[in-house]
Structure 1
Amino acid sequence: MISDFLTEMSEGTPPPAGGAQIPGAEKKLVAGILGILLGYLGVHKFYLGYTKEGVIQLIIGVCTCGLTGIISLIEGIIYLTKTDQEFVDTYITNKKGWF
């Protein structure tokens, strides 16, 4: 068993993955960063497919000179602190639009 592993490593074959990445989890980092940096324009909402929420946040953000930036900062931090599974369950599968 160990010799098989060492043989595979010496041949350049990567070891089998311990766990496959959860579909949709790759959006977590980008959505979090967009929420923190450009969230007052609702960009993170559009990225996640929440068009209605994105338009609402964009209109309010423009009319209030970016006041929605505080909400977006909080959302971005929430996105980044959730586990991949929690993020996918909450925002990809269940389509929770706010917080």
Structure 2
Amino acid sequence: MNDTIEKGKTIAITSYILVVGALIAMSMNSENKNPYASFHIRQALGLSILFVAIGYTLSGFWNPMIVYPFWIFMSVLWGYGLFTAISGQMRPIPLVGGLFQKVFKNL
């Protein structure tokens, strides 16, 4: 298992560079599927899509009481995912990680 984590760590960390990183990581992991990298790609892709969807919804508002909590919420989730990728753990992101694993199970 440690060998799988070490081989997939670079791909897993790359996946958390917003949407572009997730797409690059998907192409890096397409040939030799690494389970560790695939887990983090699903997490990062889900976070990127969630970020775009909620950001688009909130773009019509410019109320700091709405926008700032969104940025803090997304930053904490992103930081948690990146930290788990760096530390070699496969923990789903709180609140939404399990959903991302189910929705993107084919990646």
TM-score by length of structure 1 reads: 0.39
Structure (1 or 2) with the greater helix fraction? 2
Structure showing greater Rg: 1
